[in-house]
Amino acid sequence: MKIVMVGSGYVGLVSGACFADFGHQVTCVDKDETKIAALKDGVIPIYEPGLDKLVAAGSASGRLTFTSDMAAAVRGADAVFIAVGTPSRRGDGHADMVYVHAATREIATALTGFTVIVNKSTVPVGTGDDVERLICEVNPDADFAVVSNPEFLREGAAIDDFKRPDRVVIGGHDERAFAVMREIYRPLALGRSPLIEMSRRGAELTKYAGNAFLATKITFINEMADLCEKVGADVQEVARGIGLDNRIGSKFLHAGPGYGGSCFPKDTLALLKTAEDFASPLRIVEAVVSVNDRRKRAMGRKVIEAAGGDVRGKTVAILGLAFKPNTDDMRDAPSIAIIQALQDAGATLHVYDPKSMEQARSVLKDVVYFDSPYAAMAGADALVIATEWDEFRALDLPRVTALLRTPVLVDLRNIYPRVMVEAAGLAYTAVGR
């Protein structure tokens, strides 16, 4: 199949590279000519494990190409995937559809023959109708169908998620379009990944509902962690006790500093705006958003308390800046609010992250960057683990104690046993333990 991926960001690049690996002919289109030139040279604009090798293999085979020429790419395509950003709109939290609409109009002018237009971007309910209307306005003679095919990729594990998905959701109402989509995803049949066909609006809502539910699980266990601290329980024991119930499941029951990233914050807000527009309030999701926003800042206060109640004039070392390990994504990372709270309290921040420090420089000001965890913690009055990168799981704790001015470890990801940390001479603060 001839596939066009409009947008070469996180979703577009991973999806395009995986489709090419399946054997399809894929062209990734992006307005950013600098990015396209870099991709042609094998330079990947994001960090995702294994993506560089997958892109290199696709390029070498000739099945994966990159261009800024939308018209040439779309002409004769079987399917055109829209995979552009839908960030929260400033001022009201709605998903900003300007990039989707712009891409749609440009695609419409180049359509030849029957083409499936695939919304891969996370878009509000009813966007498929808008895309359909825009194409008809720009090119009344176009022969096309619009489907929704939401992505369910976890940053840091995106390639495996794409190739071995829990499910593939396709929403539409045109049998020709369903036939094309079945052929595109046919390589997944050997893995028996379920391909679920539904209405277009149902598929659009499935993406938002899924992310809102996962955000709710995270927020639930974080509130249970607060209660555990008050009553003298261990949230990890509680999470295991409830997670072994198949109706609940163990995933997303890890207490920490709150959720962040490119999806959950903006998608929960966009879902709330959709519910508001349709006069169907989602009180649980409203509470999730509110609790999570407060939690990130509260983690800063937790660090201050662990450091003796006052950090003015003190140095705090932060290990981990990205919102999760195995990515360089800083969007809505909990570390941002934690660092801001500590700076507001008068602390100096020393920081280190294996992959995200270049991205962090645009959002974190007045912090000191270091090239190793031990360099960052040297002379600090407290050490904070904010992201659970593997290299932080086996720190030389006696060395940590020796390097810190004050032996305080605040483990916001619960990656260390208390007895091990305290045996090394460190005062230990965790979450919900």
Q: All domains of the chain, ordered by start, with CATH?
A: 2-198 (3.40.50.720), 204-433 (3.40.50.720)
d(Cα 5, Cα 110) in Å, to the nearest integer? 14
* Residues with Cβ within 8 Å of residue 375, at least 6 apart in sequence: 352
8 A C-beta contact, residue 332 and residue 265: yes
Counting as low any pLDDT under 50, the low residues of the chain are none
**Structure token pair of residue 276:** 């508001």
Which of 18, 28, 228, 263 is catalytic? The answer is 263
Please report the pLDDT score of residue 162 as a whole number. Answer: 96
Q: Which single residue is written with the structure tokens 């003679």?
A: 141
8 A C-beta contact, residue 70 and residue 99: no
Q: Give the pairing of strands 315-319 and 195-198.
A: unpaired
Q: Which single residue is written with the structure tokens 């720190």?
A: 395
Please report the pLDDT score of residue 92 as a whole number. Answer: 79
d(Cα 99, Cα 88) in Å, to the nearest integer? 12
Please report the pLDDT score of residue 262 as a whole number. Answer: 86
C-alpha distances in angstroms, 381 versus 314, 315, 348, 419? 6, 5, 10, 21
Please report the pLDDT score of residue 89 as a whole number. Answer: 85
Please report the pLDDT score of residue 138 as a whole number. Answer: 97
Please report the pLDDT score of residue 94 as a whole number. Answer: 87
d(Cα 103, Cα 201) in Å, to the nearest integer? 20
Please report the pLDDT score of residue 189 as a whole number. Answer: 85
User: What is the separation, in whole angstroms, between the first and last Cα of the chain?
Assistant: 53
27, β-bridge pairs: 4, 65
411, β-bridge pairs: 385
Per-residue pLDDT tens over the stretch 97-125: 999 999 999 999 999 999 999 999 999 99
d(Cα 403, Cα 398) in Å, to the nearest integer? 9
C-alpha distances in angstroms, 277 versus 88, 97, 138, 284, 381? 16, 16, 27, 17, 49
Closest alpha carbon to 307 in 236, 404, 409: 409
Please report the pLDDT score of residue 424 as a whole number. Answer: 98
d(Cα 103, Cα 123) in Å, to the nearest integer? 14
Please report the pLDDT score of residue 180 as a whole number. Answer: 98
281 phi/psi in degrees, rounded to 5: -60, 145
Q: How many CB atoms lie within 10 A of CB 177?
A: 23
Please report the pLDDT score of residue 93 as a whole number. Answer: 81
Handedness of CA 302, 308, 312, 316 (dihedral sign): negative
Q: Respond yes or no: is residue 263 known to be catalytic.
A: yes
State the pTM of this model. 0.93
User: HSE on the CB side for 251, CA within 13 Å?
Assistant: 6
Please report the pLDDT score of residue 407 as a whole number. Answer: 98
Closest alpha carbon to 155 in 363, 358, 13, 3: 13
Please report the pLDDT score of residue 190 as a whole number. Answer: 81
